[in-house]
Amino acid sequence: MMRKCLGITVFMVAAMALLNLESCARSQKLIGITVQPGSFTFLTPDSTLTANFTALGTYIHPPETKDITNQVTWSDDIPQLLTVTSGGTVSPSVNGGCGVVNVSASSTLDTEAGGIAIGYATVTVNNPAISYCPGGTTEPILAVVPESTTTTGNTVTSSPAGINCPAQTCGAPFPAGTAVTLTALPSSNFVSWSTTCPGATFNVCVVDVTADVSVTAIFQ
């Protein structure tokens, strides 16, 4: 009888331990994401070049760090300059522009109280053929995306100087707080600006550059 009770006790202890382990696994929470490498520079805007980023998740209950690259949502704040895949592979866009872009990896899976965990990396796209390309500047980048349906010869220029986009995406760094005036020419071809310029006066748009920002100029 003693042996039978002992066996039951051992079984119950093992079962409780298993339940505790399963409970811990279910309660594991994601508290942070680190993106590696933290920065990368493309020396040319060649769309065939790639950089691979990894997202490492930091968890508690129990503490653990693991690769969650294929579980996060990848994005960037100037999509006209980069192509980012769901697996963290980044390439310059085919537009040939340049600038500094923030790439992010985010997740709401297993976070505390339905929150979100986000990690960032910085990607610089340089273009030796364009004198105002950043090449690693820390100043915010103003990127302009000209879109045209039928006509050619359209340009967007800026004051202060830096932006001169002949029918392709381009960007330039400006000191934070600079009010940059963009002018789309010829005005006869111009249709509208993106919502980034709510107070635009037809083909003239003024952008307060406080952070990386992208503006679209639509031509007919």
Query: Cis peptide before 186, with omega less than 30 degrees from 0?
Result: yes
- Provide the pLDDT for residue 100: 81
- Provide the pLDDT for residue 74: 97
Strands 204-209, 178-185: parallel, antiparallel or unpaired by DSSP?
antiparallel
Tokens of 159: 């004051």
Most confident of 23-27, 109-113, 190-194: 190-194
Task: Give per-residue pLDDT as tens, 64-94.
Answer: 999 999 999 999 887 778 899 999 999 998 8
- Provide the pLDDT for residue 134: 64
Distance from the Cα of residue 216 to its chain's centroid: 18
Q: With bands split at pLDDT 50, 70 and 90, how would you rate the model's confidence at 25?
A: very low
* Closest-CA residue to 157 (of 113, 119, 205): 205
- Provide the pLDDT for residue 56: 96
Instruction: Give the residue-averaged pLDDT of 91-110.
Output: 86
Q: In whole angstroms, give the CA distance from residue 104 to residue 111.
A: 17
- Provide the pLDDT for residue 135: 57
Q: In whole angstroms, give the CA distance from residue 84 to residue 145.
A: 18
- Contact present, 68 and 34 (Cβ < 8 Å): no
- Provide the pLDDT for residue 124: 87
Q: With bands split at pLDDT 50, 70 and 90, how would you rate the model's confidence at 17?
A: very low
Percent of the chain whose pLDDT exceeds 90: 38
Q: In whole angstroms, give the CA distance from residue 127 to residue 69.
A: 29
Q: In whole angstroms, give the CA distance from residue 96 to residue 44.
A: 9
- Provide the pLDDT for residue 57: 95
Question: Looking at per-residue confidence, does 73 or 164 come out higher?
Answer: 73
Q: In whole angstroms, give the CA distance from residue 39 to residue 126.
A: 14
Q: In whole angstroms, give the CA distance from residue 78 to residue 92.
A: 11
Q: With bands split at pLDDT 50, 70 and 90, how would you rate the model's confidence at 186?
A: very high
Q: With bands split at pLDDT 50, 70 and 90, how would you rate the model's confidence at 5?
A: very low
Output DSSP code: residue 153.
Answer: -
DSSP bridge partners of 83: 91
What pTM does this model have? 0.53
